[in-house]
Homo-oligomer: A and B are copies of this chain.
Amino acid sequence: MTELAQPVTMDKIVSLCRRRGFVFPSSEIYGGLGSTYDYGHYGVLMKNNIRSLWFQAMVQERDDIVALDSAVILNPRVWEASGHVAEFTDPLVDCRTCKLRFRADKLEDAQCGRKPSKHPGEFKECDLTEARQFNLMFETHVGALKDESSLAYLRPETAQGIFINFKNVLQIARRKPPFGIAQVGKSFRNEITPGNFLFRVREFELMEMEFFVPPGEAEQWYGYWIDQRFGWYLKYGVREGNLRKREHTAEERSHYSSGTTDIEFLYPIGWSELEGVANRGDYDLTQHTRHSGTKLEYVGEGGERYTPYVIEPAVSIERIFVALLVDAYHEEVVAERERTVLRLHPAVAPVKAAILPLISKNDEMVNRARALHEDLRQGQIVEYDDGGAIGRRYRRQDEIGTPFAFTVDEQTLEDDTVTVRDRDSLAQERLPIGGVRAWLDDALERPWQAPKI
């Protein structure tokens, strides 16, 4: 095997996503809608896996975290209290000449629309306005009137939905700090300069967990969650060399944060935030207590009371999706033929196994393969394929990252065994057809390591 074309470019990822139906530019037949994407079949399956694995690690396998799913459109006072109405802004400048709009704090990456310079950040022809603050929350109106009284926002994060339910969970789920509330859900930001494929989009699926702790334990839990989340990425196939921790400077931090560490990934566009772990202190609970008049604090059985500090790991499915694809993407030469393969962790792979009759026109093989497929799909997402030469079918499965392929061949008809082909090593072995389901369940449970290239 010879490895080609590393490091991978974003273009290669975009192209594979399009070609194999992971991701399409949205509304394409109407000329699209800037930086909006629709997910095809394999994209949906892979996002489902990412969501489940996060939920499994955050909720299912723990005693101290419960789930929540709050509304996208909350009472607008939530966003006044949280500081988003006043402070969730980016500075924006317009160019009077080329009519483009830029983030004032990112001019060094920008280009004039009329006379782009070879050097981004040079604006020879541009006539830039003064910077003004632009709020990133999408606005809408609830009810039939369109005025101040009906103004509402699409949530830019799920976290506030958690804070306003703090008391509900405390009472009903009988929790005491340290405990967490986890939420996955669509969030919306009216970004001035979206781009870089799925990296910065206007709607995205956030996975956030707010962990409430006694103030004195905040530093310790902050470190704990940075390490937990870092380890989660390694477990699911992100390469250690492409992952690092970076602490925000005081200037970088959001208005609510008293400490933030990004888990950064080496995207094709350079080191960038994958997940952020923030120490939000008591900022949010204090703000909501002040604005709502409802005391959001913990009162112990002994009468001790305090406002918990909050540690928050927050990440979007989209950024994980891209990171996993980047590290899984390989082009290589095998037996003098090129192949593209996604070496995804089996738990992340959209399809767990392909079931293939060696010869598509052999009815017996087709029937045996279909019966095997029927059995396996009771438990797993698997795919039957009899279209085209076997080599082409293997390549297609390699490109979507299917870890195993079971092939029904001549010998199957004689001795009831099938071959199983391993996506990464290309090794083939024979298995009794009756044992395939158990073998697959077992293979998917085994700890997995990205093959060394």
Interface residues, chain A, with chain B CB atoms under 8 Å away:
19-21, 24, 26-34, 36-41, 43-45, 47-48, 55, 60-61, 63, 66-75, 77-78, 92, 101, 134, 138-144, 152, 154, 161, 164-165, 167-169, 172-174, 186, 188, 190, 192, 202-203, 288, 291-294, 296, 377-378, 381, 384, 387
Task: Give me 15 other A-B pairs in contact (C-beta within 8 A), A27-B164, A134-B144 excluded.
Answer: A21-B172, A26-B71, A26-B161, A28-B164, A29-B164, A29-B288, A29-B292, A34-B142, A39-B70, A40-B165, A73-B202, A101-B144, A138-B142, A141-B190, A144-B190
CB proximity of A391 to chain B, nearest CB, Å: 17
User: Which B-chain residue is minimally distant from A201 (CB atoms)?
Assistant: B71
Instruction: Check B47 against A69 for contact (C-beta < 8 Å).
Output: yes
CB proximity of A34 to chain B, nearest CB, Å: 8
Cβ–Cβ < 8 Å partners of A61 in chain B: 377-378
Instruction: Check A40 against B66 for contact (C-beta < 8 Å).
Output: yes
A138 to B142, CA, bound (A): 7
Instruction: Check A77 against B174 for contact (C-beta < 8 Å).
Output: no
Given A33-B75, A77-B30, CB of A40 within 8 Å of CB of B172: yes
Cβ–Cβ < 8 Å partners of A203 in chain B: 71-73
A375 to B358, CA, bound (A): 40
A154 to B40, CA, bound (A): 20
Cβ–Cβ < 8 Å partners of A161 in chain B: 26, 38
CB proximity of A105 to chain B, nearest CB, Å: 15
CB proximity of A144 to chain B, nearest CB, Å: 6
Given A40-B172, A71-B203, A172-B21, CB of A139 within 8 Å of CB of B142: no
